A = this chain, B = another copy of it.
Amino acid sequence: MKSIFELPMTVRDYECDLQGIVNNAVYQNYLEHARHEFLHSIGLDFSQWHEEGKDALVIRAELDYKQSLQPGDRFLVRLEVVKKGNLKIDFLQEIFRLSDDKTCLNARVSSVVMTNNRPLSNAIFFDVLDENGIEYRKEN
A: residues with CB less than 8 A from B are 12-14, 16-20, 23-26, 28-29, 32-33, 36, 40, 45-47, 50, 55, 57-65, 68, 71-72
Contacts and interface: CB of A to CB of B under 8 A. Distances in A.
Given A13-B36, A28-B28, A33-B12, A65 B59 contact: yes
> Can you tell how many copies of this chain the complex includes?
4
Given A17-B17, A63-B63, 13 more contacts: A12-B32, A13-B36, A13-B46, A14-B25, A14-B33, A16-B17, A16-B18, A23-B32, A45-B71, A45-B72, A59-B64, A60-B63, A60-B65
A61 to B, nearest CB: 5
A25 B64 CA distance: 15
